[in-house]
């Protein structure tokens, strides 16, 4: 394990969600122990207020977005757009989790960004999160003037953990949905993604999925916690909208930037999915981080490895945006 991460875990007494018995306690832990921690750390690096604008909109009942638009002289410039889906096991978290990172990305990369507040399980189980994010993506393409967005300059969906799962699923949906004809995704960002339930591992890949067992007790997200989150989301393991590895074809998907953590129970999800995408002819940029665990950069954002994850995200987005008109 990375020495800085090991010391941080010991200092925090483990700092995992400790399988709280109900969703309210789990959400309270996450808001106080994760979202507040990362926002406190990043607030000193926020860009100046005059460099961007922030707005909010209701997409549908229970679904909202917060959007960030770079400032431009005269207001005539247009930008590529990134749609962000927060992590939290489909059950916790909010648009506050990535808020400060997205403000930085907006200004640093000249990106219009849409941050989705989707409904959470267990009150809204599978496939509510997918439906909500799809509505937000439709809202995005119908409101490019509000966002000062030009989809021809780039149209990316991305997220961490459950957000990575939803992004992978939506990349398939948008590839095939006639609504998005002429305005397809150009990129996907999959950070520590979940792509297949262990009960649904294809026979040909079973030997490649070792990390769920090997890393089952590594904080902050253990295998037991993941299974608790699976239960709250209540998705059929073999449904490709939950296990996108199981889609019959991955051809024609947008290029993908993938991040994976060596000590993550989901490490092999990322590795296998990257291989499957490449085999289908999809361009993939892949970063694997040694000695660190799932989502560690949220819980302990001040260590050097966390800074590298954030810096590489910038480079990964630049790569996704290359060659766009």
The domain limits of the chain are: 3-321
Mean pLDDT (whole number) for 43-60: 97
Residue-wise pLDDT for 141-151, tens only, equals 999 999 999 99
Region for residue 87 given its phi and psi (left: phi exceeds 0; alpha: psi -120 to 50; beta: otherwise): beta
Q: What is the pLDDT of residue 19?
A: 60
State the catalytic residue, choosing from 161, 211, 243, 293: 161
Mean pLDDT computed over every residue of the chain: 95
The pLDDT of residue 179 = 98
Q: What is residue 87's predicted lDDT score, i.e. its pLDDT?
A: 98
User: What pLDDT score was predicted for residue 221?
Assistant: 94
| Catalytic status, residue 94 | no
d(CA 166, CA 171): 9
Task: Return the closest-CA partner of residue 85 out of 52, 109, 121, 114.
Answer: 114
* The 3-state secondary structure of the chain, one letter per residue: CCHHHHHHHHHCCCCCCCCCCCHHHHHHHHHHHHHHHHHHHHHHHCCCHHHEEEEEEEEECCEEEEEEEECCHHHCCCECEEEEECCCCCCCCCCCCCHHHHHHHHHHHCCEEEEEECCCCCCCCCCHHHHHHHHHHHHHHHCHHHHCECHHHCEEEEEECHHHHHHHHHHHHHHHCHHHCCCCCCEEEEECCCCCCHHHCCHHHHHHCCHHHHCCCCCCCCHHHHHHHHHHHCCCCCCCCCCHHHCCCCCCCCEEEEEEECCCCCHHHHHHHHHHHHHCCCCEEEEEECCCCCCHHHHCCCCHHHHHHHHHHHHHHHHHHCCCC
Pick the CATH number of 3-321 from 3.40.50.1820, 3.30.1490.20, 3.40.50.300, 3.40.50.720: 3.40.50.1820
Q: Say how far apart CA 105 and CA 70 lie, in whole Å.
A: 10
- The pLDDT value recorded for residue 258 is 99
Question: What's the confidence (pLDDT) of residue 324?
Answer: 75
Residue 243 known to be catalytic: no
In the residue annotation, 249 being an active-site residue is answered as: no
Mean pLDDT, rounded, for 164-170: 99
What's the rounded mean pLDDT across residues 81-105? 98
Catalytic residue among 264, 269, 293, 297: 264
Residue 325 has pLDDT above 60, yes or no: no
| Angle at the Cα of 164 from the Cα atoms of 173 and 292, rounded to 5 degrees | 160
Average pLDDT over residues 161-182: 98
Q: Which residues of 88-120 are buried (b: 16+ CB within 10 A; e: fewer)?
A: bbbbbbbbbbbbbbbbbbbbebbbbbbbbbbbb
pLDDT value of residue 18:
52
- CA 278 remoteness from chain centre: 20
* Percent with pLDDT over 70 in the chain: 97
Maximum distance among all alpha carbons in the chain? 57
Q: What does the block give as tokens for 196?
A: 């297949």
Residue with tokens 């150009």: 186
Local confidence band at 135 (pLDDT 50, 70, 90 cut-offs): very high
Model pLDDT for residues 62-71, shown as the tens digit of each residue: 899 999 999 9
Question: Is residue 76's pLDDT more than 80?
Answer: no
Q: What is the mean pLDDT of residues 53-67?
A: 96
Statement: residue 100 has pLDDT above 70 = yes
Residue 13: its pLDDT value, please?
Answer: 76
- Helix 304-321 × helix 3-11 angle, to 10°: 120
């Amino acid at each position: 394990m990375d020495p800085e991460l090991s010391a941080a875990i010991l200092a925090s007494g483990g700092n995992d969600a400790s399988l709280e018995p109900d969703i309210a306690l789990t959400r309270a832990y996450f808001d106080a122990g994760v979202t507040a921690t990362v926002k406190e750390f990043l607030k000193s690096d926020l860009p100046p207020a005059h460099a961007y604008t922030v707005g909010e909109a209701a997409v549908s009942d229970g679904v909202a977005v917060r959007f960030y638009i770079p400032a431009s002289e005269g207001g005539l410039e247009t930008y590529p757009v990134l749609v962000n889906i927060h992590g939290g096991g489909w059950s916790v978290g909010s648009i506050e989790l990535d808020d400060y990172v997205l403000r930085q990305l907006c200004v640093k990369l000249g990106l219009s960004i849409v941050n989705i507040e989707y409904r959470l399980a267990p009150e809204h189980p599978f496939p509510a999160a997918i439906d909500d994010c799809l509505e937000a993506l439709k809202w995005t393409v119908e409101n490019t003037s509000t966002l000062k967005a030009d989809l021809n300059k780039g149209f990316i969906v991305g997220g961490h953990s459950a957000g990575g799962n939803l992004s992978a699923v939506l990349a398939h949906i948008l590839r095939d949905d006639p609504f998005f004809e002429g305005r397809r995704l150009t990129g996907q960002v999959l950070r520590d993604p979940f792509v297949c339930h262990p009960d649904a591992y294809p026979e040909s890949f079973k030997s490649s999925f070792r990390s769920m067992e090997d890393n089952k007790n590594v904080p902050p997200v253990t295998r037991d916690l993941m299974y608790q989150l699976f239960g709250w989301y209540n998705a059929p393991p073999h449904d490709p909208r939950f296990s996108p590895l199981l889609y019959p074809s991955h051809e024609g998907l947008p290029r993908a930037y993938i991040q994976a953590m060596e000590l993550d129970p989901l490490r092999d999800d990322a590795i296998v999915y990257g291989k499957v995408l490449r085999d289908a002819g999809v361009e993939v940029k892949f970063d694997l981080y040694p000695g660190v665990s799932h989502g560690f950069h949220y819980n302990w954002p001040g260590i050097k490895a966390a800074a590298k994850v954030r810096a590489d995200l910038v480079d990964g987005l630049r790569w996704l945006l290359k060659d766009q008109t």
